[in-house]
Structure 1
Amino acid sequence: MKILGIIPARGGSKGVPGKNVRQFDGKPLLAYAVEAARESSKISKLVVNTEDKEISEVAKNLKCEVIHRNHEMAADNSPVIDAVLQTLNFLKENNNEEYDAVLLLQPTAPLRTGSDIDAAVKLLKSNPEKDAVISMAKVEDHHPARMYSIKEESLICQMPEYETRNRQELPELYIRNGCIYLVRTSVLKKEKTLIPPKKLAYIMESKWSVNVDTEMDAILLNELLKKWKKQKR
């Protein structure tokens, strides 16, 4: 199975300015996605897709191929699928390269390893009837049974049958942790989504789930990295 690894890294973040090149424990955030990809034995090619000159320079310093996207595809509300499809089209038109599956590695969810990637690939290869593998983490404190909407000033529980249950009685639920999106290329092009209907979960430990979207997330990541690196040794 030929797998294309894509790291989508746009500039212009408002929540955490310059986050993809910001230093975390002595490395730019982008480097953690690159390192995980290189630890994997399953990725055929790795590219960084960006519109930002500084990110491009950091990627090149990390010895990564860079595919440039235009600024219209790098707005706050730009779907990442557009960057993925652009990358596939670029490689087909310019290098005549085609891949069986695409692995999206968001730099903002950095706590993954090459072993995680290899396990996700193995899961997809072992299940030819499925179209994707998405990394998940078990929902812990923020369970939907504890969530409410407000309608006409009234609180409405999202899972009323479990509203008063103890934590131990709540059903196990999972949330996307942003680390791995692995999708068959044919399905990705047809459905134009990284989350097709026929998908499998690759479960990861929830204690390492962090997405750097706010300054508080950046603080949390710096603390988690110290423990995460000890575990990796």
Structure 2
Amino acid sequence: MNILFTLCGRAGSKGVRGKNARDFRGAPLVWYSMAGIQLYIERYKQPEDSIEIVLNTDSEDLIKLVKRVSSMDVAVLRRAENLAGDCIPKVAVILDCLVRAEEHNGKRYDMVVDLDITSPLRTVEDIAHTIDRKKQRADVDVVYSVAPARRNPYFNMVKEENGFFCKAIPANFTTRQEAPVFYDMNASIYAYSPLALKEKEQATFFNSHCDAVLMPDTGILDIDSEEDYELMQVIAGYLFENKQEYKSISNYIQKWK
């Protein structure tokens, strides 16, 4: 199987300035995704597999951080200006990675796996689980990671309407357990069908023909604010100290410092 791993991060960020090139617990944030990929290659890559990694960015700082890990072969795809705006769907950037990687490497890929740089709290088992699920589900366009939702629009989520607050979805459920189960997309791992990337409408890509894998809700946060950045480092400290599956990522990064 030909697998393309993508790392995507632009220079600009309104919520957290320069977040993709920041440190996270003393190491570059992007290294956590890179360590996950490298551990996947070492533990799960089959002899018949071909795996390439690309970085799509307009950030010189991010490029330098990735290139510091000389033991990993990561091809840099400099992001075009028309793909660097605030309103560009990430699916468009992933498609750009796919098309350019196929042209450069002269091959077709069976799967594109994106690891979000700003969601570092994942394990190599989470990555492997997502990839295996996509292998099993040729009928879906993408398999992405989710976490159990702490709130439910039928029960304890509300909206403002005509000067009043009311349930997001009108319902008569009296306990959360009665309501339909919801999950949060935790913006961590995505395993795409290359054909779907090329043919499916980008604006509504996640509205149909998707599947998901469950991750613990400790990984629900991604870095969209300074508060997220600080809180996630506290959570990471606990996970790296007490959970071996997370510690293996942290330990792997130490050899790159």
How much has 1:52 moved relative to structure 2? 1.0
Give the 3-state SS of the residue equivalent to 2:221 in structure 1: coil
Tell me the distance in 1 between the aligned counterparts of 2:219 and 2:91. Answer: 25
The answer (yes or no) to whether the contact 1:59–1:66 under 8 Å persists in 2 is: no
Q: Percent identity?
A: 29
Instruction: For structure 2, list consecutive stretches of 5 or more residues without a partner in the other structure.
Output: 248-257
1:74 aligns with 2:81: no
1:56-135 maps to which residues of 2 (within 5 A)? 56-62=63-69, 63=72, 64-135=74-145
The answer (yes or no) to whether the contact 1:135–1:179 under 8 Å persists in 2 is: yes
> After superposition, what is the alpha-carbon deviation per residue over 1:170-189, rounded to whole angstroms, capped at 9, x for unaligned?
43211100111111101111
How much has 1:192 moved relative to structure 2? 4.5
Tell me the distance in 2 between the aligned counterparts of 1:196 and 1:190. Answer: 14
Tell me the distance in 2 between the aligned counterparts of 1:188 and 1:203. Answer: 23
- Return the match for 2:188 from 179, 187, 199: 179
How much has 1:156 moved relative to structure 2? 2.6
Tell me the distance in 2 between the aligned counterparts of 1:135 and 1:162. Answer: 30
1:158-173 maps to which residues of 2 (within 5 A)? 158-162=168-172, 165-173=174-182
The answer (yes or no) to whether the contact 1:47–1:65 under 8 Å persists in 2 is: yes
Structure 1 segments (4+ residues) deviating >6 Å: none
- Return the match for 1:46 from 44, 53, 68: 53
The alignment covers a number of residue pairs equal to 231
> After superposition, what is the alpha-carbon deviation per residue over 1:86-110, rounded to whole angstroms, capped at 9, x for unaligned?
2122122232132011111111111
How much has 1:146 moved relative to structure 2? 1.8
How much has 1:122 moved relative to structure 2? 1.1
Please name the residue that 2:232 is paired with. Answer: 221
> After superposition, what is the alpha-carbon deviation per residue over 1:43-76, rounded to whole angstroms, capped at 9, x for unaligned?
7111111011111111111343211112231121
How much has 1:195 moved relative to structure 2? 2.7
TM-score between the two structures when normalised by the length of structure 2: 0.83
Tell me the distance in 1 between the aligned counterparts of 2:102 and 2:6. Answer: 15
1:149-160 maps to which residues of 2 (within 5 A)? 149-160=159-170
The answer (yes or no) to whether the contact 2:186–2:219 under 8 Å persists in 1 is: no
Q: Which amino acid aligns with 1:132?
A: V
> After superposition, what is the alpha-carbon deviation per residue over 1:168-215, rounded to whole angstroms, capped at 9, x for unaligned?
444321110011111110111110445362221100001222110000
Structure 1 residues 219, 14: closer, same or farther in 2, change over 3 A?
same
The answer (yes or no) to whether the contact 1:11–1:18 under 8 Å persists in 2 is: yes
How much has 1:162 moved relative to structure 2? 4.6
Larger deviation, residues 89-98 vs 53-62: 89-98
TM-score between the two structures when normalised by the length of structure 1: 0.91
How much has 1:36 moved relative to structure 2? 0.9
CA RMSD between the two structures: 1.8
Instruction: For structure 1, list consecutive stretches of 5 or more residues without a partner in the other structure.
Output: none
Please name the residue that 1:202 is paired with. Answer: 213
Tell me the distance in 1 between the aligned counterparts of 2:207 and 2:113. Answer: 14
